[in-house]
């Protein structure tokens, strides 16, 4: 399938056809996102017109309405839940993955099995007691409850991912560090962390995506004070009837951070999504 295969006029014809098909499919897949973005720049009557409005004068009214319409609280909550939980994941996950790769504890695969099995535990199986316990502890509608839950949600993925990065470090590097008498913290800080920095960035990206997008816990455990960005979208949907253009603007703004991060870090994304299995 390399370039050399496509030589001669017939081969070239096949190549052009395949390229055309690929582009058509790519545009078809992207089109709903484009349509959402276009709708965000319309007036409400153009947004829900039948037949659809294709040509219009773009307006920023909807974005202005979203930004001025009380979204700041939601964005602040999402920023705390995402940022702090990602930091906690790294803080707990980096030493743990070190203990599962470089200087391993006994029964590494049992521990890894345990971590991955918590990802298979359906969230619905624990939501009921979490809701009741959080109620008794008076931490319902509290952003720190989400911070703790998002940390637990992402930690297993992070441990698996970072372990795969640690395992790529050549043994010689570690031997040299221990010969020089460097302790655990020294070795971690000045030898290992710089080497796995790209891996840590990839891990953080995945944690940020999952925490930013999380809806189920946020829906059930928050009300007005601790509500996050996904809930801003659903509240726009229900409280004000159907303002499709404004809803689209909210959806685009809410997705923008993750879309941009994903576009920029495509390679890290693959590794992160496969929890480190794919290099």
Partner 1 sequence: MTAAVATPAHTRSPQDARAVARAEGWRRRAPLLPALIFTIVVTQVPFLVTIWYSLRSRNLLRPESDLFVGFDNYVRIAQDATFRQAAANSVVITLGCVLVAMLLGILLALLLDRPFAGRGLARTLLITPFLLMPVASSVLWSVAMLNPTYGLLNWTLSLVGIPSVDWTSTYPVVSILMALVWQWTPFMMLLVLAGLQAQPRDVLEAAAMDGAGWWRTFVSITLPQLRRYIELGVLLGIIYVVNTFDQIYIMTAGGPGTESANLPFYIYQRAFLGFDIGQAAAMGVVVVIATIIVATLALRLIFRSFDVRE
* 77-99: burial string, b at 16+ Cβ within 10 Å, e else: bbebbbebbbebbbeebbebbbb
* 13 lies in the site for partner 1, by CB under 8 A: no
* 106 lies in the site for partner 1, by CB under 8 A: yes
Window contacting partner 1 (CB under 8 A); options: 20-28, 57-65, 79-87, 193-201 = 20-28
Q: How far is the CB of 191 from partner 1 (least distance, A)?
A: 15
* 36 lies in the site for partner 1, by CB under 8 A: yes
234 three-class SS = helix
Handedness of CA 62, 64, 66, 69 (dihedral sign): negative
Q: Per-residue x/- mask for partner 1, residues 50 to 89, rule CB under 8 A?
A: xxx-------------------------------------
Q: Per-residue x/- mask for partner 1, residues 181 to 220, rule CB under 8 A?
A: x--x------------------------x--xx-xx--xx
100 contacts 167 by C-beta, under 8 angstroms: no
Segment 150 to 179, residues that bind partner 1, using CB under 8 A: 151-152, 155-156, 159-160, 164, 178
Residue 257: Cβ-neighbour burial (10 angstroms; 0-12, 13-18, 19+) = middle
Nearer of residues 142 and 213 to partner 1, judged by Cβ: 213
Instruction: Report the C-alpha gap between 257 and 212 in whole angstroms.
Output: 9
């Amino acid at each position: 399938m390399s370039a050399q295969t496509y030589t001669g006029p017939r081969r070239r014809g096949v190549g052009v056809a395949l390229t055309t098909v690929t582009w058509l499919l790519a545009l078809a897949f992207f089109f709903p996102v484009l349509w959402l973005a276009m709708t965000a720049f319309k007036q409400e009557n153009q947004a829900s017109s039948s037949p659809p409005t294709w040509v219009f004068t773009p307006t920023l009214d909807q974005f202005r309405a979203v930004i001025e319409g009380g979204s700041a609280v939601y964005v602040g909550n999402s920023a705390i839940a995402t940022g702090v939980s990602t930091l906690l994941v790294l803080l707990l996950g980096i030493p743990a993955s070190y203990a599962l790769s470089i200087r391993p504890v006994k029964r590494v695969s049992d521990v890894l099995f345990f971590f991955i099995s918590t990802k298979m535990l359906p969230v619905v199986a624990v939501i009921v007691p979490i809701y009741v316990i959080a109620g008794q502890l008076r931490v319902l509608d509290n952003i720190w409850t989400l911070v703790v839950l998002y940390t637990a949600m992402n930690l297993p993925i992070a441990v698996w991912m970072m372990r795969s990065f640690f395992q790529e470090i050549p043994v010689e590097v570690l031997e040299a560090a221990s010969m020089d008498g460097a302790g655990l913290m020294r070795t971690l800080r000045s030898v290992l962390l710089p080497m796995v920095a790209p891996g840590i960035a990839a891990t953080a990206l995945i944690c940020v995506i999952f925490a930013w997008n999380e809806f189920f816990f946020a829906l059930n455990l928050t009300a007005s004070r601790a509500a996050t960005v996904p809930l801003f979208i659903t509240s726009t949907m229900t409280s004000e009837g159907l303002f499709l253009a404004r809803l689209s603007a909210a959806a685009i703004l809410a997705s923008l951070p993750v879309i941009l991060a994903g576009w920029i870090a495509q390679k890290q994304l693959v590794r992160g999504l496969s929890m480190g299995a794919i290099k």
